[in-house]
Structures are given as C-alpha cells and as structure tokens.
C-alpha cells in the first residue's frame, strides 16, 4: 500500500472539542498528524488545519473515524501570495520560517521562496514589516 499526504481543514462541533481526536488518529489509525493552524475555543466549534500522513488505507480509516465523530473535513488547496517585487530582502520572514520555504541567499543577499516547502504556519505574514505575504486558503 502507498503512503499518502493530505492537507485538510477539520471543523469540530462543540461537543467534540474536548475529545482526544488527534491522539486517537495517531494511536489507533497509525497516521502522522502535523497541526499547521488551530482555532479551538472551549464550548464552541473548533477548526484545525492539519496535514495527515500515512498509508492510504490508514488515512481512509482515519477520515471515516472523523466523519463518525461528526467532524467536517474540507481538503485544502493552499497558496501563499508573496509580493516579491516590493520585497526589500530584509530577511525578517526567513528568520521565522522553520520549514525553510524562505531563505536568504548568502551570495546575493536576496530572499528565496520555495513554495513547495511551505506548511502554511503564517509566521511570515506576521514577521514581514511590509506585509508582503498573504495566505490564501481554498477548499475543494
């Protein structure tokens, strides 16, 4: 069986927020969960942007489990919009980019952007003094 990686937004109903859903996904379904963004408030619905990695069958079973818990699943199409033309190459964004999607070229002292490495953490948006980054989420 092949390994697969899926990014999705999970919307939890209020009654599910306090359940160990991500723990169950990891322990019972043998999938890796990378939480990229979270907005969970006690007593209200929650939203998680996650990346799920595992064998295709395990991921399918994990998604069936989520549906049984009435968690809405929306696959994510993520893009980061970067106004490179206005960039002054200060490096503020690269200093917070832990996956290495933004790096300073030591020979040219210019910012390099590798969108395939981006995990949508939004730290570059907060770090950029000129506000040149915009995260655009869409769902399929």
CATH topology of domain 78-139: Alpha-Beta Plaits (3.30.70)
Non-local CB neighbours of 70 within 8 Å, separated by 6+ positions: 13, 16
Q: What is the pLDDT of residue 92?
A: 97
Cα distances (angstroms) measured from residue 86 to each of 53, 115, 133: 36, 18, 11
Domain 3-70: top CATH class: alpha beta
- CA separation for the pair 90, 113 (Å, rounded): 13
- Mean pLDDT by groups of 10 residues along the chain of 140 residues: 86 78 94 84 76 95 94 80 94 91 95 84 91 75
Q: What is the pLDDT of residue 93?
A: 96
Query: What are the residue boundaries of the structural domains of the chain, listed by start?
Result: 3-70, 78-139
Say yes or no: do domains 3-70 and 78-139 share a fold.
Answer: yes
Can you give the pTM of this predicted structure?
0.59
């Amino acid at each position: 069986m092949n390994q697969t990686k899926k990014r999705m937004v999970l919307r939890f109903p209020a009654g599910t927020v306090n359940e160990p859903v991500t723990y169950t996904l990891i322990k019972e379904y043998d999938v890796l969960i990378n939480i990229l963004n979270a907005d969970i408030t006690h007593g209200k619905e929650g939203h998680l942007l996650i990346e799920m990695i595992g064998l295709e069958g395990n991921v399918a079973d994990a998604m069936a489990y989520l549906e049984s818990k009435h968690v809405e699943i929306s696959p994510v199409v993520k893009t980061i919009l970067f106004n490179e033309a206005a960039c002054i190459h200060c490096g503020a964004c690269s200093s917070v980019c832990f996956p290495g999607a933004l790096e300073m070229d030591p020979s040219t002292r210019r910012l390099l952007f590798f969108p395939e490495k981006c995990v949508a953490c939004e730290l570059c948006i907060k770090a950029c003094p000129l506000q040149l980054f915009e995260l655009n989420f869409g769902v399929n």
